[in-house]
C-alpha cells in the first residue's frame, strides 16, 4: 500500500478511519431524508416558494423587518433545507416553516402595495389550494 493513510502510525490511521465513518453516518441520514418527501409534495413546496418570490410590490415581514420577495423566497428555501426532516408535506412546510419565526414565535406577514397585511400562513394555504385544485382538475 503506497497511499498516505497506510503510512500513518497505526493510532492515527485508526483515528482517520473512525472520523471518516463518523462523517458518513452523519451524511447518509440527511441524503435519505431528502428522498423521503414525496415528489408531489416537494413540487408543491417549490411552487409555494416560487409564488412568494414572484410577489410584485409586496414585502415579507419577519420579526418586524420587511424583505423583498426574492429575499423572502431564499429565506424560506434555506429554512426548509435546515429543517427538512420535519417537513413531510406541503402543509407541514406551511405550518412549520412558512408561517412563523422559530426565534420569536411571531407570525410572518405579507404586506401588499395597498398596505394590506396578510399572515403568510393564510396566503400559503390559499396558494396551496390553487395548486391542489389545478392538479385535481388536470387529473380528470
Mind listing the pLDDT tens digit for each residue in 89-112? 999 999 999 999 999 999 999 999
Average pLDDT value for residue range 119-135: 97
Each residue's pLDDT tens digit, 62-79:
999 999 999 999 999 999
HSE at residue 94, side-chain half, CA atoms within 13 A, is 20
**Cα-to-chain-centroid distance, residue 74:** 9
Query: Quick one: pLDDT at residue 73?
Result: 98
* Planar angle of CA 29, 84, 134, nearest 5 degrees: 125
Query: Quick one: pLDDT at residue 140?
Result: 86
Q: Is the pLDDT of residue 1 over 90?
A: no
For residues 100-139, one letter each, b for 16 or more C-beta atoms within 10 angstroms of the residue's C-beta and e for the rest, the string is beeeeeeebbbeeeeeeeeebbebbbebbeebeeeeeeee
Each residue's pLDDT tens digit, 13-60:
555 555 555 566 665 454 444 558 999 999 999 999 999 999 999 999
Amino acid at each position: 500500500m503506497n497511499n498516505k493513510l497506510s503510512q500513518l502510525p497505526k493510532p492515527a490511521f485508526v483515528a482517520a478511519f473512525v472520523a471518516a465513518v463518523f462523517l458518513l453516518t452523519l451524511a447518509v441520514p440527511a441524503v435519505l431524508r431528502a428522498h423521503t418527501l414525496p415528489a408531489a409534495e416537494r413540487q408543491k413546496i417549490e411552487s409555494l416558494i416560487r409564488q412568494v418570490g414572484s410577489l410584485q410590490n409586496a414585502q415579507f415581514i419577519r420579526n418586524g423587518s420587511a424583505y423583498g420577495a426574492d429575499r423572502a423566497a431564499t429565506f424560506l428555501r434555506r429554512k426548509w433545507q435546515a429543517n427538512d426532516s420535519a417537513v413531510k408535506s406541503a402543509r407541514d412546510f406551511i405550518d412549520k416553516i412558512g408561517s412563523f419565526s422559530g426565534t420569536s414565535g411571531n407570525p410572518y406577514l405579507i404586506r401588499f402595495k395597498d398596505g394590506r397585511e396578510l399572515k403568510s400562513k393564510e396566503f400559503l394555504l390559499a396558494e396551496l389550494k390553487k395548486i391542489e385544485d389545478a392538479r385535481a382538475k388536470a387529473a380528470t
